[in-house]
Structure 1
């Protein structure tokens, strides 16, 4: 027997990294993958390859994802389509579902098991739909064929005694070997004949039924009346669903095909029918219907059912003046458990979380899993006073938080998790109209506020929070065009030695918006990180900084190094070292003059990958520095393994060394430790002469801060190199 063919997945996305990550992941899970980088190309590949499932982005050149969805749905309605899009706008998701999407996922997908689960679920759903249709067609063909054979046998009985005997033999063979049930009953409902196969369905023997009333076999009056009405109208009926009551008084769903004997039913004296047990078909249909509204892992209502119930709650709340609440929960650092212990452990943990959420929950409330580690609790009718309702919601959230933080024992592992919970009350106190999707978005926004405030906490939605989210979205859209519009620039802050001589500088990105003016990096860098724009921005920074350094070196300006910050997302790219090599070759800069500044949290996360990449960068000749040292959780063991050149003392310690003995001790310890590890030390944020004196006395000999210079544009930095920094004392 030949090897079973793998399912074929078509990915349509204009971003090469996204398609590549999907291909690598899916092929690891025994899927074949074909790709397209635009909507138009995607349709060509779809028509040529006829894939089993399509992963499609919404925002693409030439033809957007919505048009692709609509076209595929029209040409192949049974092909499942999953939208994987970077837009989190609920309207886009709704429109995608209307146009033919079977599921909707947000990218970047942090947990690829969510994608795998969605693909397997939709492939199974498609298989059930196709099998159900084939089953229906087969049933009609089989009934037609067998009824014709029986009718022919009955007609042959009237031709002659010889033919009668032969036909009787043929009829008996068919009759006794039927898998379906053949049944004849008179117009008055008396059963005239039934095939032995009736016992497989009902446990009745043939002789027990002949001569009895059909009402005993089909006891539901409404179904019988409808059956005879339809027969009287057209003379025959196909695939009529009716319940047969077996010997143990259980009702079995069956499909019945029936017709009057003879051409003119007014003169017919009996009805011939075939009957089939459709229990498995009904179970399959019920499963398909169930999966449309419930999460397969936890058996909780999914997003579709949640929104439906939320809209009903909103309507009742407005009608009767009640308040309700939506609690949006996200499990803090759940990904760490999944990555370290495996998805089976993660799935068991999610099941236990679902069980704990259901504890002490009222019947009128709803618990839903939206996907991944996100859960929602919908609280109905919390009273007519808004303040009291908010207090009740707060108390419920506190109870849930307390219950979820208790230890979990899963397959000999003792696990601890905490939830971040966002709360949105409804309806609006000011009477403004809000949809269920609005409330869900508000609660989601509040949950992210809880994350930003340190996790393991509860935050309520406020209009100002939504305004901030809208501002971030608008800023993200404008940031996408900042590079091509030449709105980004590099500033440089000198790094000086013990005597105040400029040895190097740190390159710092700045954004000058044409209408909003200067936008702080503290505002737009987190947006760039979250949206993935940091990859293109980081590449631009690296290339631009290297060009400046090359130009200054050719001018003989005497710099020893230029520090460039590398974001965690940029560093984690599989092709990062190769990208750096390409830019070094392109700009012709001396690699030994380039220093990458990595955050402490970045180097400790995934230590094996970190060390491999750092070693690759060192082979290119670069210097490596840990930025903001002392603020994270570094281990001396890891520090000894890393090919580092520089430790950079965080300015939060430098700022307080005059007034805080603990910070002074930490700074002195970092300098001493660096000396033992043969590492250079740079103190950042030096602003006063006493800070400088303390650092010098404790052995630090590289400094950066406002005492020497603020970050300045490139041409001013060149002037400063020529003039020198005014002496601050040596």
Structure 2
């Protein structure tokens, strides 16, 4: 081998920049062996493609290129073999288009390996003519392949370092490195983002600068004992930012040792888990507290009661030692209806805050559902002590409250259950206090009731009535009777009011008993649907007999009204029976006129537009405001029987009835007098120009099979 060639190559590589090395050595090797082409190429991971790292042609740098290794001599080199062909290389590899395009005759290829011994690059020389000195070329290329490999290793190592640095710099987790004395030597950008401290801020400092003082000295002693013993520690820790705010981090600290097992550094990784912690705490809070009022929820209340009972009370004592009050806001739905839910929420917050201000340290206030609260009071001596608490509560709500410029009066219905007189656990106390609260509401609201066995018995009766009603609906135990409504002007029967009857195992149950119960238990719609269907069916039969002008009045409860007018199916039912909507008059109680029911106006308008008439039943017993009457689409006004009785008994009774009739006339509304039983009542109403009369004077309610004959026989 020509030593001068080696010397020339080495001299050409002296004092060159590392990024020029591969180009320079390709030029030097090409000049040394008179190769037409010399290139260094890297291989892809699958060893299917080679891409030039540096390439020369006749001593000049050329553009980079890539080519497929399949069916080329380079594929042999890629498989860790030296490959040399002094001539005829095109004939040996006829599918290698690159050899043909370059006009190559001779080929030398040397594999270049990584530190791990895997070929990831190749060194190739191509000759236009036969290689006369093939052994010298092989030797020279093998000699300098080691130098090239070393440079490739440096490049790979540099890239790896840059990649690791990129990972560290871009890591979402904070990274901090300290020397063996715990002084900070490096922090990454995420550390600065989380803590606010830059690397220059921490020069000559230790991580103690982050201490929040939330952890005890014992905590840190245990932490460092683990690090010193095991070389590692991880866990949650509260630290402090540069601006003084605190955050929770998940921290992992590892000791770093050199090849002599000497401690050189500590490296710590941490992530800010404050949001995660706060989210967990929020879930934990929501599991125990009401989000709106910040009072305990029902779950927390029960836990508090059970804990209190186990710690402070004995079920064997027959005396009262604690009490649970269940508190309902009277008519809260009306407040929501009138002023909206945002205002309603503010009312609930006000009530919660007021109740909280009244309790002692060992008591608790809870919002258990929509407008229901509970108060558990410990250390109760007797019922008088409970009454004192109730007095404090009611006195706190005596005065109207002002919220957002709106003044409202709050009243409460309260039920009380006593420990251990009524129950010895949270569920039992709540169930009984709630029962008592419902009785308080049923008895007129704005009052309180202690739980008693009598209340329990009445609740059982109510539950039995509910089950009986459910069976009655299922077994079709209801029927209808019809009371005539007489037109004084026409002197004939023009309408009948359909009245529902319930034959419960041979006993006729009063509508005054079961209708309110059906409304309370959500069963009224099923009963109302039966009444409408049955009345339409029986009216159709009556019309086929020739009584074509008769109208049936159907009572509808406010609880049967759908939320949206378009969901109403009443007109559909009427038409399905072959009737015209004008054949039906819907009777509604005055509760429909309440301000919170303004949303029903659309439904009433829809019924009227279809042809139905709307009657207001029991006028004078509820929302008998002229302004309400003017707002609602009412065709008929029915005067309650109490006014008819007073008409003949009290001096001003007739005057009042006359005023009602006159008012109705002014509004172009017809008037029906209900409950008329006496001849002199008929005479007075005739004189006052009342339109219709209904009552026992003309007939008791009739079964449907007797209506036809009644109409035939009727005379006024």
TM-score (norm 1): 0.66
Count of aligned residue pairs for this structure pair: 554
For the 8 Å contact 2:210–2:239, the answer to whether it is kept is: no
1:538 aligns with 2:528: yes
Match of 2:8 in 1: none
Mapped contact 2:328–2:412 kept (Cα < 8 A): yes
In structure 1, the gaps of 5 or more residues are 1-159, 384-388
Identify the residue that residue 365 of structure 2 maps to in structure 1. Answer: 367
Report the 3-state secondary structure (helix = DSSP H, G, I; strand = E; otherwise coil) of the residue aligned with 1:308: helix
Higher gyration radius (CA): 2
Distance 1:244 1:265, change over 3 A: farther
Name the residue aligned to 1:585.
575
Q: 1:265 to 1:587 in 2, by over 3 A?
A: farther
Query: 1:185, 1:214 within 8 Å by CA — same for their partners in 2?
Result: no
Name the residue aligned to 1:21. none
**Any stretches of 5+ residues in structure 2 without a counterpart?**
1-152
Over 3 Å counting, the alpha-carbon distance change for 1:708 and 1:323 in structure 2 is farther
How far has the Cα of 1:501 moved from its partner?
5.2
Q: 1:458-511, CA deviations, whole angstroms, 9 ceiling, x for partnerless residues?
A: 333333333333433443344334334121111112223559854432101112
Residues 619 and 271 of structure 1: CA distance in aligned 2, closer, same or farther (over 3 Å): closer
8 Å contact kept, 2:330–2:413: no
- Does residue 425 of the first structure (1) align with residue 417 of the second (2)? yes
Matches within 5 A, 1:47-58: none
Could you say if the C-alpha distance between residues 340 and 210 of structure 1 is closer, same or farther in structure 2, counting changes exceeding 3 Å?
A: closer
CA displacement at 1:164 relative to structure 2: 11
Quote the Cα distance in structure 2 between the aligned partners of 1:367 and 1:310. Answer: 11
CA RMSD in angstroms comes to 4.1
Write out aligned runs for 1:563-712 (5 A): 563-575=553-565, 579-605=569-595, 609-640=599-630, 643-700=633-690, 702-712=692-702
Take 2:337 and 2:685, find their aligned partners in 1: how far apart are those partners?
Answer: 42
Matches within 5 A, 1:132-531: 180-184=174-178, 190-191=181-182, 193-196=184-187, 201=195, 205-209=201-205, 220-224=216-220, 226-227=222-223, 236-238=232-234, 240-244=235-239, 253-261=248-256, 272-315=267-310, 316-318=312-314, 322-383=320-381, 389-411=382-404, 413-429=405-421, 433-498=423-488, 502-514=493-505, 517-531=507-521
How far residue 176 of structure 1 moved from its aligned partner, in angstroms, is 8.0
Give 3-state SS (helix, strand or coil) of 2:473's partner.
coil
Q: Answer yes or no: is the 8 Å Cα contact 1:254–1:277 preserved in 2.
A: yes
8 Å contact from structure 2 (residues 301, 364) kept in 1: yes
Tell me by how many angstroms 1:628 deviates: 0.6
Alignment deviations for residues 125-165 of structure 1 (CA, whole Å, 9 cap, x no partner):
xxxxxxxxxxxxxxxxxxxxxxxxxxxxxxxxxxx999999
Deviation at 1:564, TM superposition (A): 1.1
State the alpha-carbon separation in 2 of the partners of residues 474 and 652 from structure 1: 32
Distance 1:215 1:264, change over 3 A: farther
Output one character per residue of 1:1-41: Cα deviation in whole Å (capped at 9) or x when no partner: xxxxxxxxxxxxxxxxxxxxxxxxxxxxxxxxxxxxxxxxx
Q: How big is the shift at 1:553?
A: 1.8
Q: Is the 1:407–1:414 contact (alpha carbons within 8 Å) kept by the matching residues of 2?
A: no
| Alpha-carbon displacement from aligned partner over 1:259-302 (angstroms, at most 9, x marks no partner) | 45469999878654323443343333222221221122221111
Distance 1:451 1:334 in 2: 12
| CA separation of 1:543 and 1:311: change in aligned 2, threshold 3 A | same
CA contact (8 A) 2:590 2:618 kept: yes
Cα offsets for 1:210-268 (capped at 9, x unmatched): 59999999963443455467668876454x12345789999754322234546999987
* Separation of aligned partners in 2, 1:313 and 1:711: 60
